[in-house]
Amino acid sequence: MTLGNKKIVLCVTGSIAAYKAATLTSMLTKAGAHVDVLMTDSAKQFIGPATFQALSRHPVNDNLFIEKKEGQIAHIDLADQADLFIVAPASSHTLSKLAQGEAGDMVSATVLATKAPVWIAPAMNVNMYQHPAVQANIKKLISYGYRLLEPDEGYLACGWVGKGRLLEPDIIFSQIESFFSSPKKTLDGKKVLLTAGPTRESFDPVRYFTNYSSGKMGYSLAHVLQKRGAEVTLISGPTYLKTPEYVTRINVTSAIEMFEAVMKRESEMDAVIMSAAVADYRPKEIFHQKMKKQEGSLLIEMVRNPDILLELGKRKDKQILIGFAAETEHLEDYAKEKLRKKNLDMIVANNIAEEGSGFEKDTNKVCFYYPSGRYKSFELMTKHHVSEHIVDALEDLFKVSDLS
């Protein structure tokens, strides 16, 4: 019961992402929080109050003028008693009302009346989110002291691709847990180098070879490592993801650039985690002008890129070295061979052909393999929870290293 008896007011507004608020309600309630759900009329067009009442075990407040209890002024009582307010999803309409100080419904009136911290988690079409009026309202709310839970980028319900997706419930939940707890700085004083994302291998000024890696796994790891006290250096290939707070990010594009950035810093580190999907090959020749279409087939000669993980394994002294193996078949055999060949302390293996696992997904199903032959497998879970398990394993590896 990590959030035992914390009073959290969850404000649900008009967005298709309202269904995610139901999942968040369930997670918070199971963690011991007292969750009061407020809904706008627009929110009820997407999901019914009965769902939230069943999940929170409390009546839903959806009318400013009808009190659930006799003699109660609900929006004032809720405002006074809350430990935290979360508006998720926050529609552009609600953001505008809060920014202008309007109080025409249960959500806006209660939020304006509270002195508790207020978090806003926008969810809307990418063009709406980027509109100057919406951005101005968000900036104004931040100036009031509200905390922005910035939306994800990806495929939206409206069919557009871009920024506007409500953060996944487990990420919001994790941030709430962090807010109410003082995490143990179990990695305080440790320096960790982390790679993430894909690399791009240029062919001409407008074309390149790459892979499907989104960087989500590596960025989630960076967040968890930093929260546990590590000094994190993140070397990232091209990605749209936001840099976690207090993490030093170094942007690279190609495998050679990543190799150089890693080798420049690895000797200063206590651990290196290679979660990036680094291209094995690059075009032998890069054309400085756009290559024009020609008759017949096009043959491109590829040459090997430096093997960053192999070189790290050769150089390793007392550092902890963790690699990743993304495979489509013979997962255990390939992972164990990579573990041995590259002198790793642990390898995180996953079959990207399995449903819900692999690149661009928010979930993953992994197995940890160790040089001793020990292994540990996990069920499908969010990448945030995978990151927690990886960092737990890193802490155990540090304990063994400190004893040797």
> Which residues are marked as active site?
158
Q: Are 164 and 156 in contact (CB under 8 A)?
A: yes
Angstrom distance (rounded) from CA 378 to CA 392: 14
- Cα separation of the two ends of the chain: 37
Strand, helix or coil for residue 14: coil
- Which residue shows structure tokens 């900036």? 139
Q: Of 9, 67, 61, 73, nearest to 35 (Cα)?
A: 9
341 known ligand binder:
no
342 known ligand binder:
yes
Strand, helix or coil for residue 113: helix
38 known ligand binder:
no
Q: Are 361 and 336 in contact (CB under 8 A)?
A: no
306 known ligand binder:
yes
324 known ligand binder:
yes
Question: 254 CB contacts (<8 Å, ≥6 apart)?
Answer: 199, 200, 201, 202, 279, 282
309 known ligand binder:
yes
Residues in the chain: 404
Residue 220 CA, chain-centre distance (Å), reads 5
Query: Phi and psi (nearest 5°) for 230?
Result: -70, 150
Known binding site for CTP: residues? Answer: 280, 290, 306-309, 324, 338, 342
Known binding site: residues? Answer: 280, 290, 306-309, 324, 338, 342
